[in-house]
């Protein structure tokens, strides 16, 4: 481990985790079952996130998928007009396709809705091990198609849609953009991918170098086993970097944390998008760790990240 590369605020969190694990107060997620891990992840997000900011309103809604419905949460930011039609950012939470939900990223979605000139819709896609690959992807695609039809008459401009996600959610957002390109609809104007997983099952150098900084090889293996079969790892919906033609995709912001096992594959995906002729900005938050988007109570760079994503999405419309 290379602690001296970490931002002091990030290192403080890493040290707290090590102390808790060494004392037995905290059990690593890969030694839990998925239900225990979900509860642990929610507790950790709650401890590391700032208080939820006030917004104009949030509404819990249901989106039909297959023969059931999934949950979603619609946000309108403070100081917005209740009836004004606004663009929409569809948000997919991180958590390795196994953990995470609307509540783990509620503060982030509120911050984005307040900061940007758009509404936010967070999607509670189904996860492994109960629903394995590609269910999460299918739910996300169905959600975007549902938004495009806007059956609830939300005050949104369904011709101005962006997607955003962190980690596994970044993977889902990237795949949705490729899918929309394949099907020529619905049109997605922008994608903001925050330390995204772009090459599941790969072994980039950063996975070795930063092993154990929030993400570890053991934890990533635990996620993969619960989400996807080994013979599916080369499916582009698991690894969008493998898609044969990455041209004509939306303008893109890729954010990576400097000390993140997923750093290299996020940068690699951005470079592949550039080679294919897309407009891409890659932003590296040096010294930061995986998951810092939801650590705003302890990490000052989180506010800079929220402002950056909000600004880039707002300007894309």
Q: Cα angle vertex 137, ends 94, 238, to 5°?
A: 80
pLDDT classification of 151: cutoffs 50, 70, 90: confident
Q: Is residue 1 scored above 80 in pLDDT?
A: no
Is 316 catalytic? The answer is no
201-231: burial string, b at 16+ Cβ within 10 Å, e else: ebebebbebbeebbbbeebbebbbebbbeee
Give 163's DSSP letter. E
Is 124 catalytic? The answer is no
How confident is the model over 94-128, as pLDDT tens digits? Answer: 999 999 999 999 999 999 999 999 999 999 999 99
List the catalytic residue out of 119, 199, 290, 301: 290
How confident is the model over 177-231, as pLDDT tens digits? Answer: 999 999 988 899 999 999 999 999 889 999 999 999 999 999 999 999 999 999 9
How confident is the model over 278-307, as pLDDT tens digits? Answer: 999 999 999 999 999 999 999 999 999 999
List the catalytic residue out of 106, 260, 264, 301: 260
Which strands form 280-285's sheet, in the order they lie side by side?
Answer: 57-65, 68-76, 119-124, 86-92, 156-166, 190-194, 251-257, 280-285
List the catalytic residue out of 49, 58, 143, 167: 167
**Dihedral pair phi/psi, residue 220, rounded to 5°:** -65, -35
Identify whether the C-beta of residue 176 lies closer than 8 Å to the C-beta of residue 140. yes
Is 260 catalytic? The answer is yes
CB-based contacts of 256: which residues, under 8 Å, 6+ apart?
195, 262, 263, 266, 267, 282, 283, 284, 285
37-70: burial string, b at 16+ Cβ within 10 Å, e else: bbebbbebbeebbeeeeebeebeeeebebeeeeb
How confident is the model over 40-94, as pLDDT tens digits? Answer: 999 999 999 999 999 999 999 999 998 899 999 999 999 999 999 999 999 999 9
Superfamily (CATH H level) for 3-316: Alpha/Beta hydrolase fold, catalytic domain (3.40.50.1820)
């Amino acid at each position: 481990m290379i602690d001296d590369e970490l931002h002091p605020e990030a290192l403080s969190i890493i040290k707290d985790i090590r102390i808790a694990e060494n004392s037995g107060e905290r059990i690593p997620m890969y030694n839990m079952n998925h239900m225990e891990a979900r509860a642990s992840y929610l507790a950790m997000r709650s401890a590391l996130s700032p208080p939820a900011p006030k917004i104009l309103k949030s509404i819990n809604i249901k989106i039909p998928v297959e023969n059931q419905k999934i949950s979603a949460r619609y946000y309108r930011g403070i100081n917005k007009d209740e009836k004004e039609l606004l663009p929409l950012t569809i948000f997919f939470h991180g958590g390795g396709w196994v953990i995470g939900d609307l509540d783990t990223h509620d503060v982030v979605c509120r911050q984005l809705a307040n900061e940007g000139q758009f509404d936010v819709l967070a999607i509670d896609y189904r996860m492994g091990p109960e629903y394995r690959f590609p269910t999460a992807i299918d739910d996300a695609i169905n959600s975007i198609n549902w938004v495009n039809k806007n059956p609830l008459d939300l005050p949104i401009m369904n011709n101005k849609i962006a997607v955003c996600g962190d980690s596994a959610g970044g993977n889902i957002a990237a795949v949705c953009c490729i899918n929309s390109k394949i099907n020529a609809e619905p049109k997605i104007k922008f994608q903001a991918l925050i330390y995204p997983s772009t090459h599941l099952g790969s072994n980039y150098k950063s996975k070795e170098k930063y092993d154990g900084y929030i993400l570890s090889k053991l934890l990533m293996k635990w996620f993969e086993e619960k989400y996807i079969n080994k013979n599916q790892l080369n499916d582009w919906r698991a690894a969008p970097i493998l898609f044969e033609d990455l041209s004509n995709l939306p303008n893109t912001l890729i954010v990576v944390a400097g000390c993140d096992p997923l750093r290299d594959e996020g940068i690699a995906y951005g470079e592949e998008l550039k080679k294919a002729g897309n407009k891409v900005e890659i932003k590296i938050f040096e010294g930061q760790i995986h998951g810092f988007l939801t650590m705003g109570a302890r990490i000052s760079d989180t506010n800079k990240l929220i402002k950056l994503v909000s600004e880039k999405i707002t300007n894309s419309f």
